A and B are shown apart, each in its own frame.
Chain A
Amino acid sequence: MTVQVANGVVRLAGHCPVEEAEMLLTALADGARAIDLTDATRLHFALVQILAIARPAIAGLPDEPFLRDMLMPALRYPD
């Protein structure tokens, strides 16, 4: 389980494959207000699209260099 929700924060960790897109969508649609990417190492593009649509607040920036330096600016994080 790499998608976890606690206290309104969705935590993505490790390698997050396409199958987790639906779970992420549901969590955000159900009112999760922020997302923590600190331990995420890989995000499938299906999840990235959901972040682009929902634009949740960021509770933690990813440590992984590609996600931090390439993906986050592309999603206009931090704003």
Chain B
Amino acid sequence: MDELLQQFLIEGRELVADAHAALALLRREPRDMSALDALFRATHTLKGSVALFDMEPAEQLLHAAENRLARARTDEVPLDMPSCDALVATIDQTDRWIDALAANGVLAPEAARIAVQLSEPLAMGGEEAEPDGKTSASTDPRWLDALRLRPEFSGQLEGAATAFRYRPDADCFFRGEDPLAVVAAVPALAAIAIGRDGEWPALAAHDPFRCIAWIEGISGADADAVRAVFRLVPDQVEIAALDARDTSIAIGGEGDAKAASLRVDANKLDRLARQSGELTVALHGLHGLAAGVERLDRALGAELRRVEAAIAQANTALRASVTDIRLVSLSPVLRRLPRLARELATSLGKDIDFSLAGDDSQVDKQIADSIFEPLLHLVRNAIDHGVEDPAGRVAAGKPPRGSVALSLAVEGDRLAVTLRDDGRGIDAERIRASALGKGLVEEAEAAALSDAQAQRLIFLPGFSTAAVVSTVSGRGVGMHAVLAAVERLQGTIDLDSAPGRGTSFRISLPLAAITTRLLTVRAGDGVYGLRLDQIAETLRLEAADLYTVGAGQACVVRDRTVPVLDLGALLGFAGEGEGTARLVVTEVTGEPIALRVKALGERLDALVREPSGLLARLSGIGGTSVQGDGSVLLVLDLMELLA
């Protein structure tokens, strides 16, 4: 993929997330100026970015949003709820267009129509006013970017909290205004710049009583304090909060807000983690060696131990840094959820207030990569099965708008995820009956279950009938898939439901990287990793101990006849043929099966990543693990391979 496009897909989606975060704040407090500024910046940058691609409708729509926001910023037309809704729709649509660009390289033909339709509510509440130079400048958000680059402000931005751009009217002198006196009153003023759009006129051609210049400045005071100074000339000034991002821009000297950080290929990171693990193993060797040397020569041994201790200390620090680097914020992963929740609610005719909190929690990349799918599933279930439609809710004595709240929080070394809805709850009696009807439990068994235990029956494989097919993994359906995904991440899931009042799911996941015990085996043309927890035992049998049963082979393991399958053949290579057989016995399907391999390799602890891209479509590949030498080990999922 084109590098520019790739960059845009990452950053465009981040900007969408930034915009949504600001919109969430603005919904609560429409006059939150810093949220308004953040939304304006995100919208403006998005508009600039989409202009680089074949996305004209997106550019037009974002332009309309930007104009609307500019009017809100100058307090000309403050944001109201319909405007917020229109802005949410704009950002959601932009997000969809980014997805479309990623998938197809172009927007669908109806994009132009959608852009026009969505821009209409944004244009309401005042026409696009550009009667003279003044207002067009106030809709020009580039001033802040330009301001940051001015030499007058270099080295001063770090301590500044607020920037302003004051464009006095041409005839302001006649009204008795002195722009410089106004600026002199700005509290904690750090620096100013004086300039003019275009060339200065010749002295002879200048009318001394016309104001032709602007003043920009930065101040250590907050935006409200600065705004107070300009209270008599609010239409001539723009004020913006300078946050930490702005400072990093100034330092980086680039237009990129994230100039100080670096994007690293996740594979390289896995490799680094693996290498630091190998260093630990090598250190164990050194430890033994030092003990041996000490027996021969005490002084040399002690010296060696000191060196060993120093390396061990450095290695511990290295491992801590690697763990820390792998921590990523969940917000980019979860940024789609609010939009998907809104879309689903609309399509089901439900009215839902979806809230997301704590999505800036930091977790290991592996958890972040795997958490979206199960959470999406839970959110879908909550909207689809939990929350009633508005009429049903009113009949039950609840407000017509349902609430679905997802919150994430770091608690010690675990991530606590809670999804709570105020819907109809899970009726234990219906669950019992349904599980009985599907033959998942016996009658006596069902009757013996407490209500809380009965509610957990929804996690049984085969329980979900209203199967929502998971779009990303394509594996499994229903709550069982959620439980399986959480358990794969070494997490737990609890459920608390009060009929008529709602349901809450609580998921607990580890924060740190999860290593998986693997056994490497040679089979067919390559080396593969098998998860040790899927292996019951390994065996070595002579050819004579294998016998033919029908078309296949079998062997006897502790008085049980166990079918023998050739792993190479299962993977599409030629079989192993004759000679001594090396077998790996697995019981993942419930019955023991022996897999014949060419050779058994080493046991190792490795970070296993979910398969992506083409690999994800191959059945039987459970993940990949990057080796210390940078090569990639395919980890097989025996359950899938043998299913």
Contact B211 A49 (CB under 8 A): yes
Q: How many A-B residue pairs have CB under 8 A?
A: 73
Q: How far is the CA of A25 from the CA of B152 in the complex (A)?
A: 26
Q: Is the interface of B mostly helix, strand, loop or mixed?
A: mixed
Residue of A nearest to B186 (CB): A70
17 contacts between A and B (CB under 8 A): A18-B173, A18-B209, A24-B208, A29-B204, A44-B173, A45-B178, A45-B211, A45-B213, A46-B211, A48-B194, A49-B211, A49-B212, A50-B206, A53-B202, A53-B206, A70-B192, A74-B191
* Among candidates B173, B184, B200, residue contacting A53 with C-beta atoms closer than 8 Å: B200
**Shortest beta-carbon distance from B153 to chain A in Å:** 10
Central interface residue in B152, B178, B212, by most chain A CB within 10 Å: B178
Chain B residues, CB < 8 A from A28? 203
Chain B residues, CB < 8 A from A43? 180
What mask results when residues 57 to 94 of chain B are scored 1 for a CB within 8 Å of chain A, else 0?
Answer: 00000000000000000000000000000000000000
Contact A44 B184 (CB under 8 A): no
Contact A74 B194 (CB under 8 A): yes
Residue of B nearest to A66 (CB): B184
Residues on A facing B (Cβ under 8 Å): 18, 21-22, 24-25, 28-29, 42-46, 48-50, 52-54, 66, 70-71, 73-75
Contact A73 B152 (CB under 8 A): yes
Within 8 A of A (CB), among B363-392: none
**Interface: B189 (CB within 8 A):** yes
Within 8 A of A (CB), among B188-216: 189, 191-194, 196, 200-204, 206, 208-209, 211-213, 215
Q: How large is the interface on B (under 10, 10 to 19, 20 to 34, 35 or more residues)?
A: 20 to 34
What mask results when residues 209 to 250 of chain B are scored 1 for a CB within 8 Å of chain A, else 0?
Answer: 101110100000000000000000000000000000000000
Chain A residues, CB < 8 A from B620? none
List the 10 closest pairs (A to B, CB-CB), nearest first: A21-B208, A45-B180, A45-B179, A74-B194, A53-B200, A74-B192, A25-B208, A66-B184, A44-B178, A49-B213
Contact A53 B180 (CB under 8 A): no
Q: How far is the CA of A35 from the CA of B226 in the complex (A)?
A: 32
Q: Is the interface of A mostly helix, strand, loop or mixed?
A: helix
Chain B residues, CB < 8 A from A74? 152, 191-194, 215
Q: How far is the CA of A52 from the CA of B195 in the complex (A)?
A: 8
**Interface: B168 (CB within 8 A):** yes
Q: How far is the CA of A70 from the CA of B215 in the complex (A)?
A: 11
**Interface: B181 (CB within 8 A):** yes
**Shortest beta-carbon distance from A78 to chain B in Å:** 14
What mask results when residues 326 to 357 of chain B are scored 1 for a CB within 8 Å of chain A, else 0?
Answer: 00000000000000000000000000000000
